[in-house]
Structure 1
Amino acid sequence: MSRRLFGIRGATGAENSKESIQKNVVEMCLSIFSLNGISPEDIVSVQFTQTGDLTAMNPAAALRRGQSDFDVSSCALFCSQEPEVDGSPEKMVRVLVTCYLDEGAELHHVYINGGERLRPDFAKK
């Protein structure tokens, strides 16, 4: 079967502490990797944004330090600040995982811990 490039999205809420950011980012990312059958070799990049009120830890560092069985040491991880838009939810980390999967793969986006309000259509029922 041929493979193609996909983008898988997610979001999670967090409190402004290292522990909360790390816990919630790792939970979101490991869920994305597991639900989509992604291995480290499949990943092109993982790009995070975080709202300006989350200053305790960079989500890329949180994933790199907080994962256990999933080795992201060779993955390109990047983070930037989410644009400030009136009415947007606070204390939010968003992610875009760019990876290769089999053509026709069913994608599973992960919106948890308050992230569901960003994309209720992708949130688990």
Structure 2
Amino acid sequence: MIRGIRGATTVSNNEEKEMVEETKKMIEHMAAINDVSPEDIASVLISVTPDLDATFPAKALRLIEGWKYVPVMCMPEINVPGSLPQCIRVMMTVNTKLGQADVEHVYLNGAVKLRPDLIEER
């Protein structure tokens, strides 16, 4: 079955090192808690808010062993007034045996407020 796994995190600064480190941490956590290997992944889409332009957070995937061939793309997030700033969002499309309600989505740092309903369920 194909499922989407959501992830989001925030950074304190528009700096390459922090953006890559926080993205890597989030993606590794998404994969670990959902038992996802690189071969299970169809693609990874990463969006960033307009205030983050220091680097492509997709660089984080290339730092994870075995993820060389995982297709990844970055894009800008819609600039909605009042939305969470300095936010990196991920949609990982995977092949899994997990039911939709069993998929664990990951929200780190300031992004925990995006989906408190999913955080509280776990």
TM-score under structure 2 length normalisation: 0.91
In 2, Cα distance between equivalents of 1:108 and 1:58: 25
AA at the equivalent of 2:36: I
% identity of equivalent residues:
36
Contact persistence 1:116–1:122 (CA under 8 A): no
Match of 1:96 in 2: 91
In 2, Cα distance between equivalents of 1:123 and 1:112: 10
Contact persistence 2:61–2:68 (CA under 8 A): no
Of 42, 57, 60, the residue aligned with 1:59 is 57
In 2, Cα distance between equivalents of 1:113 and 1:10: 11
- Structure 2 gaps of 5+ residues are none
In 2, Cα distance between equivalents of 1:12 and 1:79: 15
In 1, Cα distance between equivalents of 2:98 and 2:85: 36
TM-score under structure 1 length normalisation: 0.89
Between Structure 1 and Structure 2, how many residues are aligned? Answer: 119
Contact persistence 2:44–2:70 (CA under 8 A): yes
2:113 aligned with 1:117: yes
Larger deviation: 96-105 or 33-42?
96-105
2:10 aligned with 1:13: yes
Contact persistence 1:51–1:91 (CA under 8 A): yes
Contact persistence 2:44–2:71 (CA under 8 A): yes
In 2, Cα distance between equivalents of 1:57 and 1:102: 34
**Counting helix residues as a fraction of each chain, which structure ranks higher?**
2
In 1, Cα distance between equivalents of 2:98 and 2:81: 38
CA RMSD for the aligned pairs?
Answer: 1.5
After the TM superposition, list the runs of 4 or more consecutive aligned residues in structure 1 that deviate by more than 3 angstroms.
none
